[in-house]
Structure 1
Amino acid sequence: MSLVKVKNKFQVTIPAEIREAANIKEGDILEVVFQDKTIVFKPKVVLDRESAEASIAEGLKDYREGRIFGPFDSIKGFKAALSKA
């Protein structure tokens, strides 16, 4: 069990062993929620809207132009399609 002290401006330091286990790096975004009388920090990924929209548009273009695989009836069929790609 790790104990932390609430400091000025309600800041806390996440202990190194917890950061390492959760793979939290400086600059990461964490969601903080209060559930069942417990404070929970959840690592989050933030996507840039412009690049996300570009990726979605590219995927839709591939779909419209027939550059898709599947659906697959089995893992074996999926693996066979990957080896042909």
Structure 2
Amino acid sequence: MRAKELFGITVLDKNVKSVGKIEDVDFDTETGAITNLVISLNKGIFSNDFIEVEFEKIQTIGDYVLLSEEIEAEEKAEEVTIEVEDEE
């Protein structure tokens, strides 16, 4: 898998709850290895909240990225409820 294929993949914590999507990756300039993933959190349409997760905390990468730990409560995405009124 190429690094650019990671962008936009949904990230799940160890409890399989959606955390956000991969926004960027950090590399070690000497080895070329990925060191961190930058995740855009699921906090709403206009959110710019990001967290960095060390590459060692990734359990698997495939259709989703599964982390080996739960994301702390203050970092977790907030649930958003949208109410839509029917126009009659």
TM range (shorter): under 0.3
Higher RCO, 1 or 2 (CA under 8 Å, sep at least 6)? 2
Larger helix share, 1 or 2? 1
- Given the two structures, how large is their TM-score scaled by the length of structure 2? 0.23
Query: Structure 1-normalised TM-score?
Result: 0.24
Rg comparison, structure with higher value: 1
Say which structure is richer in strand: 2
